[in-house]
Amino acid sequence: MAETASKELKARDKQEVTSPAEPTRPGLYFTPDVDIFENDTEITLLADLPGVRPDQLTIDLREDVLTLAGDVSPISAAGEEPVYTEYQTGTYYRQFTLSEVVDQQNISAALHDGVLRLRLPKVAKATPRAIEVQTG
């Protein structure tokens, strides 16, 4: 991750995952690519999850750790057998540690065209504000 990344959200370096932990089911695990943007009021995380449907996606927040997990099912049509495939199926898995400036109660998520958009609003005390100077 670039040095200019937000200090409020710590992302692990991009890596290929063979297994996030001891797997309880067979299959491949992938690390989704993410882009993280920040402004004064929120942090936005975009994660590439091609082939993941909303009912196959789990977003979990426990003890300041945000976990993304999404399953990709094989694509097949009745009566067809694959001849050549490059698209692999398995599970996307990635975790992020949230700081205290993220308002964890108001995190929202939307999945559209294989891209997950997470909005992580900042708590009011972490939002910058201008202080008016009094005269006299």
Can you give the pTM of this predicted structure?
0.74
What domains are there in the chain, each with its CATH number?
30-75+87-124 (2.60.40.790)
Looking at residue 43, its pLDDT comes to 96
Spell out the SS3 assignment of the chain: CCCCCCCCEEECCCCCCCCCCCCCCCCEEECCCEEEEECCCEEEEEEECCCCCHHHEEEEEECCEEEEEEEECCCCCCCCCCCCCCCCCEEEEEEEEECCCECHHHCEEEEECCEEEEEEEECHHHCCCCCCCCCC
Cβ(92)–Cβ(33) below 8 Å: no
Looking at residue 116, its pLDDT comes to 97
10-residue mean pLDDT profile of the chain (136 residues): values are 54 49 71 94 95 94 94 82 82 92 95 96 82 82
Looking at residue 128, its pLDDT comes to 79
Residues in the chain: 136
SS3 state at 83 = coil
What is the per-residue pLDDT across 43-62, written as a single tens digit (0 to 9) for each?
999 999 999 999 999 999 99
Looking at residue 15, its pLDDT comes to 44
